[in-house]
Amino acid sequence: MLTVKDLHSYYDKAHILQGVSFNVDEGQVVCLIGKNGMGKSTTVKSIMGIAPPQIKSGQITFDARDITHLASNKVSQLGVSYVPEERRIFPLLTVRENLTLGLDVVGVSKDEKAKALSRIFEYFPRIQERLNQLGEGLSGGEQQMLAIARAMIMKPRLILMDEPTEGLMPLLVQEIKEIIATLKQERIAVLLVEQSAAMALDVSDIVYVMEKGTILFQGTPKTFRDDSKLMKEVLGV
Amino acid sequence: MQEQLMQEILMQILNGLVFGMIIALVASGLTLIFGIMDVINFAHGEFYMVGAYTGWFVIGYTQNFWLALIVAFFFVGLFGAVVEVSTLRPIRGRAPLYTLMAMFGLSIFAQQVILMIFGPIAKEVKEPLATKIPLFALEYPLYRLLIVAIALGIFISFWAFLKKTKYGTWIRATMQDNIMASALGIPVRLVYTLTFALGCALAAASGVLVAPIFSVYQSMGLAVIVTTFIVVVIGGMGSLLGSILAAIIIGELQTVSSVLVSPTYAKIFSFLALIGVLLIRPQGLFTISKR
């Protein structure tokens, strides 16, 4: 479904991604883990078409279509949703407006919008209680749930999640793990960026470890856990 | 004597409201463009001027002031869209100086083209309503009160557009976080074009409304742009409500103080207000949460 091939991305003259390659198949949960500043978020932004960073060489394809230099609004319309680092809820839009913004772009009827909202409320009942509240009035955890709900409501085929558990309490981290499991059941692929390797290993099918803009390791969570040297280097365990 | 002074002050309070609403229309366009596109439109006064000339031209053929107002709104809006696509879009993402110079150049170009086509003599536009009505102890021109009503009507319509329509929500989302707006599928480039067009159209409407009071001349944009920038800074860059309130405050300050001092000195009070705000609350009276 998603293929990233020998990607080189830059912030100005800083060469951040130095030949990153990986795949994400339909219904798969793939995780990029690594320390701060290794290029994980840059990889996600490059896929999503967010600039900066600038892609100087390499290729990104989604369903065999080249999306390497496609603008982010076009990438979104192909079926890719984005849950950014720091949530990025629109603070002065209501929860309802935050949720339905993407639906209005594709142009759905009132009935379809109502059905989409109902479906989302099954996963996120707390959001239903806050529909008319401004985004800035939500707690950190609620904003994270809204960011994920906003991505899910679009019925994407691939969701890019950048550090969705950052700064959240363990109960909410568990909720997010359950949501990712649900997405997997619905055959929605997830590319997950996580600093918390422990969380990532619990939910992923494939793990890629990034270091200094390159892929250091590729394998299943089990093979990662069996590599004690790598575990120590990445997790400090 | 005291009664005469009170009447004069009352007259200037009303004039201040009229002047404030005219500036509010121009300033709301300018602050909208800045709030969403991060563009300081140095040619904004020229869209106001071109609006006035468009109005004068249409009135010349149709004798219909209200038709001229509508035509100027849409014509200058379309002109603004063309400017955005041809001039601003190619230089987006570059250093702010590129945009400043481009708009400055457009300002000079527009003034010279208008001068070439229409000549240096100011054009007169008749008030569509020449009646005066009794208001408090005065006889006040009805047309000036109508300006206030029309401006209010435009602001209410604009508010409804922003709050209740899909495109209005796109504009508000783009203002708060253009990157996330794009990632949700919003065609941000189109939003920029629409925003610039709307901003210019608001300035054009103001130009037509003011034409019967101050007449139409090629440098009329310069006469209004300084006050407009003061209002936008005091109100808070990007804040529509701030611009409207600041415009009314500045309008009242300039006109009421002209009872006590000459109009030239009265303008100094606007600058004093600007300095005061910059010292005490440099972000302006109202600020917008923006990423």
**Which residues of chain A make contact with B180, given a CB cutoff of 8 A?**
84, 88, 90
CB atoms within 10 A of CB A220: 13
pLDDT averaged over chain A?
Answer: 91
Percent of chain B predicted with pLDDT > 70: 98
**Which element (helix H / strand E) includes A178?**
helix A170-185
Instruction: Give the rounded percent of residues in chain B with a pLDDT score beyond 90.
Output: 69
The two tokens of residue A87 are 């949530």
How far is A152 from chain B, CA to nearest CA, in Å?
11
Mutate to test the interface with A, among B171, B180, B190, B286 (most CBs of A within 10 A): B180
Q: Is B190 on the interface with A (CB under 8 A)?
A: no
Query: Would the CB atoms of A76 and B183 count as touching at under 8 Å?
Result: yes
Answer yes or no: do A105 and B186 touch at CB < 8 A: yes
- Is the pLDDT at B129 greater than 70? The verdict is yes
CATH number of the structural domain spanning residue A223: 3.40.50.300
Structural domain span for residue A216: 2-86+157-235
In angstroms, the CA B281 to CA B275 distance is 10
Give A-chain residues touching B89 at CB under 8 angstroms: none
Query: Does the pLDDT value for residue B291 go beyond 60?
Result: no
Residue B290 has pLDDT above 60, yes or no: no
Q: What is the ipTM of this complex?
A: 0.92
Radius of gyration (Cα) for chain B, nearest Å?
19
Enumerate the residues of chain B whose CB falls inside 8 A of the CB of residue A106: 185
pLDDT at residue B124, rounded to an integer: 94
- Cβ contacts of B179 on chain A, cutoff 8 Å: 50, 72, 88
B27 pLDDT band, cuts 50/70/90, is: very high
Domain spans in chain B, listed from the N-terminal domain onward: 21-218
Helices B2-37/B44-62 angle, 10° precision: 110
Residue A217 lies inside a defined structural domain of this protein: yes
A141-181 tens-digit pLDDT? 999 999 999 999 999 999 999 999 888 888 888 999 999 99
Q: For residue B284, what pLDDT is reported? A: 83
For residue B164, list chain A residues with Cβ-Cβ distance below 8 A. Answer: none
On whether residue A161 sits in a domain, the answer given is: yes
In tens, the pLDDT along A183-211 reads 999 999 999 998 777 888 889 999 999 98
pLDDT of B223: 87
**Res A207: pLDDT:** 93
In chain A, residues with a C-beta closer than 8 Å to the C-beta of B288 are: 92
Residue B61 has pLDDT above 70, yes or no: yes
pLDDT for the residue numbered B251: 92
Q: What number is the average pLDDT over the span B80-91? A: 95
Q: Is B280 on the interface with A (CB under 8 A)?
A: no
A202 CA: distance to closest CA in chain B (Å) = 28
pLDDT for B257 equals 86
Mark yes or no for CB contact B187/A73 under 8 Å.
Answer: yes
Q: What is the distance between the alpha carbons of residues B69 and B64, in angstroms, rounded to a whole number?
A: 9
Supply the pTM of this predicted model. Answer: 0.89
Q: How far is B291 from chain A (nearest CA, A)?
A: 9
Please give the pLDDT value at position B96. 87
pLDDT score of B288 more than 70: no
pLDDT tops 90 at residue B95:
no
What is the arithmetic mean of pLDDT over B67-81? 97
Q: Is the pLDDT of residue B1 over 70?
A: no
pLDDT at A223 over 80: yes
Q: What is the dihedral of CA A185, A187, A189, A190, to 10 degrees?
A: -20
Residue of B nearest to A76 (CA): B185
B112 exposure class (CB count in 10 Å sphere: 0-12, 13-18, 19+): exposed
Closest Cα in chain B to A98:
B173
pLDDT recorded at residue B231:
92
pLDDT at residue B208 tops 70:
yes
Residues of chain A above pLDDT 90, percent: 68
Q: How many domains does the structure of chain A reveal?
A: 1
Name the minimum distance, in Å, from the CA of B232 to any CA of chain A: 20
Whether chain A has a CB inside 8 Å of the CB on B92: the answer is no
- For A31, list phi and psi in degrees, rounded to 5: -120, 135
**Average pLDDT score over residue span B130-159:** 90
Position A56 in a domain? yes
pLDDT at A235: 64
> What does chain B look like in DSSP terms, one character per residue?
-HHHHHHHHHHHHHHHHHHHHHHHHHHHHHHHHHHHH----TTHHHHHHHHHHHHHHHHHHH--HHHHHHHHHHHHHHHHHHHIIIIIGGGTTS-HHHHHHHHHHHHHHHHHHHHHHH-SSPBP---S---EEEETTEEEEHHHHHHHHHHHHHHHHHHHHHHHSHHHHHHHHHHH-HHHHHHTT--HHHHHHHHHHHHHHHHHHHHHHHHHHH-B-TTHHHHHHHHHHHHHHHH-TT-HHHHHHHHHHHHHHHHHHTTTS-HHHHHHHHHHHHHHHHHH-TT-SS-----
pLDDT digits (tens, 9 = 90+) for A78-88: 999 999 998 99
Provide the pLDDT for residue B155. 92
pLDDT at A231: 73
Q: What is the mean pLDDT of residues B64-85?
A: 96
Which of the four pLDDT bands, split at 50, 70 and 90, describes residue B3?
Answer: confident
